[in-house]
Amino acid sequence: MPKTQKTSSRKTQTKRPRRTHKKPEPPKQHIVLRTLSAIVLMGALVGSGYLIGANKEQTVPAGSAAKHASKSVPAKAIPANTSRPKKKKRPSPLEILRYGFEEDAQGDDMPDVSWYVPSSPKKSQEKPAPKITVTSPSPKRSQAPRLVIIIDDVSHKRQLDAIRALPYHITPSIFPPSELSATSNHLADSLKHFMVHLPMESGSAAMNRMRGMLFTRFSPAKVQARVDEIRRLFPRAKYINNHTGSVFTSNYKAMKQLYGMLRQKGFVFVDSRTTGRSVVRKIAHAHHDTYIARDVFIDNTQTEAYVLKQLKQAVTIARKRGFAIAIGHPHAVTMRALRHAGKILAGVKTVYIDELYH
């Protein structure tokens, strides 16, 4: 074939269009499924974000056009626990004793022994206290140093039996009827030597839910009604000390009012000294009364070695001053330590609280 013909034939050829592989359009069902999956995934991410930052304020888009908006709306914080809040329950008997014991431990602020030496009351600008029939007790004279051991928180017969089984004169301080025992006052029916352990306002909100607690906010009529009730429950009682009471015994107005009412009913108040801010000494001296207070807590740490160490300290005070007052609790370790304290207590005479004063 001639050359000219080949060229002409190439020019006359038309270009074939290139084949493009178009992706087949997905069926409408696939689009719907993908959309639903995206929505579910988005919801899961948002939900997990709420759970992780439940306590923080978060921001979420406002409406479908929020991507282009400049402001965002704060979302309400959703608590992690959506259940209804439970009502506050009264503390259990074990919790009551634990809270009281913790406050006693905080009040173990033993100062120098000279702090306990009776001092002449300073002249006060307050009006003199009215004369009543109750006389202030004073320590009896004795050649041998004397030690009073008080066991607080007594509410059951088994505790009383453990105390009476010890070979010493130990004074039980009995709870009025409470959650611990509704008939605890009857423990005193067969006793000659005992005290009343009166619950008074503390710094613990849980402890303050104990039944029969005395509060500084009470009206005089309400305080008087409680004092009258204690006298009816314990008709032969003379000595009374505070259970907890760090708030009450440091409030001058409330404590002065209570002290006067107890005095008129024939009670002698013994300061457990659960706080170093106690004003009982000042009030007792204003009435020209002997201030009676705890010297040592013997079982703030519940080990036998600690109890014995604290008993030694109480004996040291008794030998130096002539007498001392120690307070413990009806723990098993305390009872065991007292059974093994014969050598420590050999140098003093253990006496009941009413044998120390007259």
Q: Residue ranges of the domains in the chain?
A: 29-79, 93-112+137-356
Of 325, 329, 306, nearest in space to 314 by CA: 325
List, as own/partner pairs, every contact residues 108-114 make where C-beta atoms lie below 8 angstroms and the sequence separation is at least 24, other chains included: 108/296, 108/297, 108/300, 109/273, 109/276, 110/295, 110/296, 110/313, 113/317, 113/320, 113/321
Identify the pLDDT of residue 67: 45
In angstroms, rounded to a whole number, what is the distance separating the alpha carbons of residues 242 and 293?
11
Identify the pLDDT of residue 89: 64
Of 193, 160, 166, nearest in space to 335 by CA: 166
Coil/strand/helix, residue 219: coil
Task: Give the pLDDT confidence of 130-172 residue by residue, as tens digits.
Answer: 443 444 666 666 678 999 999 999 999 999 999 999 999 999 9
Tokens of 11: 């020019």
CA count, 13 A, side-chain hemisphere, 275 = 19
CA distances from 101 to 58, 152, 164 (A): 45, 10, 22
| Residue ranges in the chain modelled with pLDDT below 50 | 1-9, 11-12, 48-78, 109-135
H/E segment holding residue 269: strand 268-271
In angstroms, rounded to a whole number, what is the distance separating the alpha carbons of residues 57 and 44?
19
Neighbours of 349 (CB within 10 A): 17
In angstroms, rounded to a whole number, what is the distance separating the alpha carbons of residues 55 and 61?
19
In angstroms, rounded to a whole number, what is the distance separating the alpha carbons of residues 97 and 156?
13
Identify the pLDDT of residue 280: 98
Neighbours of 343 (CB within 10 A): 8
In angstroms, rounded to a whole number, what is the distance separating the alpha carbons of residues 294 and 107?
10
Neighbours of 274 (CB within 10 A): 31
DSSP 289: P
The secondary structure of 77-140 as a DSSP string is P--S--SPPPPPPPPPHHHHHHHHHHHHHHT-----GGGGS--PPPP-SSPPPPP-S-----BP
Tokens of 246: 């760090």
| Architecture of the domain spanning 93-112+137-356 | Alpha-Beta Barrel (3.20)
Task: Give the pLDDT confidence of 72-117 residue by residue, as tens digits.
Answer: 444 444 455 555 555 556 667 666 666 566 666 665 543 333 333 3
DSSP strand pairing (73-75 vs 58-60): antiparallel
In angstroms, rounded to a whole number, what is the distance separating the alpha carbons of residues 115 and 107?
16
H/E segment holding residue 28: helix 28-52
CB within 8 A of 302, min separation 6: which ones?
Answer: 331, 333, 334
- The amino acid sitting at 199 is P
CB within 8 A of 356, min separation 6: which ones?
Answer: 139, 140, 146, 148, 323, 325
Identify the pLDDT of residue 33: 67
